[in-house]
A and B are shown apart, each in its own frame.
Chain A
């Protein structure tokens, strides 16, 4: 459950870090960082030249701080990683793919750049899986 307090903590933490807390994966490190890792990892396929990605960036930094205990957020630059972009059939940026233990469990493209929305699209696939696992 995402609370207002958590959002405030995220704001404060994001400000305190003052930088980029989202790890960037490339084609050589993607397997290690994402596919071979256990747990929940959300991958943002983005491009620095994309205005929507730019709008989303500060929100995503906050989300990364809030979610860091449960889900990790990783960035893939589509301008550099054509292989990964093709492999995951990315047709637009930003696109999020949620992985659990290396398997794709959810996907969202062009999300609205609001914190509650980003938290929802990232956590929802995992919440659903936990629900069905019960």
Chain B
């Protein structure tokens, strides 16, 4: 484990590595969150599967909550979640600094750009399984199956879920 994690000298962005969308975004953030000196401006790490490991980062951090919404752990011991975490992440990515200031703009006590960002995150979070999520058991390209079903009625009888690469398929509650 890197020293940065132990000393918490940089914010830690947690991402769901069982979700294809989150994994790709996490990889992009990791690549982009470097300043001109080549130093990482935040630590990007998967949530993992160990509740105790997460609590060692922040005693208030619950693994179920971590998987439910994006979390960024600040160096002062606080946590930001959801749209606030996305804004904090964007502030720390040099190529996004030209617009990320806008999330702090307040108009009449409201932050319109932060509101829009939070709504956008909520929508992406809700539909991300459609783009591939191992934890939800939905394969990448799931939308292709949906389109196929809608456009080729003869396939409906033959459609069965296939095991994805980790061998797990979650069932929706009956």
A: residues with CB less than 8 A from B are 20, 47-52, 54-57, 77-80, 82, 85-86, 90-95, 109-113
Contacts and interface: CB of A to CB of B under 8 A. Distances in A.
B18 interface: yes
Interface in B126-146: 129, 133-137
Main secondary structure of the interface of A (DSSP, over half): loop
B170 A50 contact: yes
A93 B134 CA distance: 11
Contacts of B50: 80
Closest 8 CB pairs of A and B: A110-B171, A49-B135, A49-B18, A79-B49, A92-B171, A112-B173, A92-B169, A92-B170
B174 interface: yes
B64 interface: yes
B168 interface: yes
Main secondary structure of the interface of B (DSSP, over half): loop
B168 A47 contact: yes
B170 A57 contact: no
Contacts of A92: 137, 168-171
A54 B67 contact: yes
A127 to B, nearest CB: 20
B51 interface: yes
